[in-house]
């Protein structure tokens, strides 16, 4: 499913399966990060650069949060960087279903109908595409009015 998030022109993002892991790499052609600062890169509130030379804004929480989330999924995150050459961040998340050979329980779903009531448009599209892929007909329930709690069928 395509992402609606913009990726700057000087960046690239690749997805692959490496063994039993999903691997995602994001590369940029930015300034790179000095070696002495890489060791603190995942510390909460840490920001590369200081003072008036600092060109970027933010709280310094993004990479710390990423590291925690990836760790909770038994994954890891690594950075390769060189000043003046940009950086590459790579995350690896284990695919436990692949390791265990767990089959997808999709047998018998073809031609079934599913009513879906989800308030998040992107999540609705994602779940709908997964179900449609297995032959499930999806009908959506939509709110009749903001905060009404009432739903009506939308085809």
What CATH number should be reported for the domain whose range is 11-99? 3.30.565.10
Please tell me the distance from the alpha carbon of residue 104 to that of residue 98, in angstroms, as a whole number. Answer: 10
Domain boundaries, the chain: 11-99, 113-154
CB 75 within 8 A of CB 23: no
Which of 20, 40, 155, 44 has its CA nearest to residue 92? 20
What does the alpha-carbon distance between residue 99 and residue 94 come to, in Å, rounded to a whole number? 8
Per-residue pLDDT reduced to its tens digit, 5-63: 555 556 788 888 878 888 999 998 888 888 888 888 878 877 776 655 555 667 777 88
| Residue 2 main-chain phi, psi, to 5 deg | -70, 150
Distance between CA atoms of residues 48 and 57, nearest Å = 10
2: pLDDT confidence band, cut at 50, 70 and 90?
very low
């Amino acid at each position: 499913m395509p992402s609606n998030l913009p990726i700057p022109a000087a960046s690239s993002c690749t997805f692959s399966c490496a063994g039993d892991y999903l691997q995602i790499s994001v590369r940029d052609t930015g300034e790179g990060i000095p070696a002495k600062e890489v060791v603190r890169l995942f510390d909460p509130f840490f920001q590369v650069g200081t003072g008036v030379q600092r060109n970027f804004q933010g709280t310094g929480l993004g990479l710390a949060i990423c590291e925690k989330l990836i760790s909770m999924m038994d994954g890891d995150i690594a950075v390769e960087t060189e000043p003046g050459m940009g950086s590459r961040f790579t995350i690896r998340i284990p695919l436990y279903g692949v390791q265990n050979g767990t089959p997808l329980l999709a047998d018998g779903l073809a031609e079934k109908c599913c009513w879906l009531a989800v308030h998040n448009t992107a999540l609705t599209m994602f779940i709908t595409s997964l179900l449609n892929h297995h032959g499930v007909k999806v009908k959506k329930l939509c709110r009749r009015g903001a905060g009404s709690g009432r739903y009506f069928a939308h085809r």
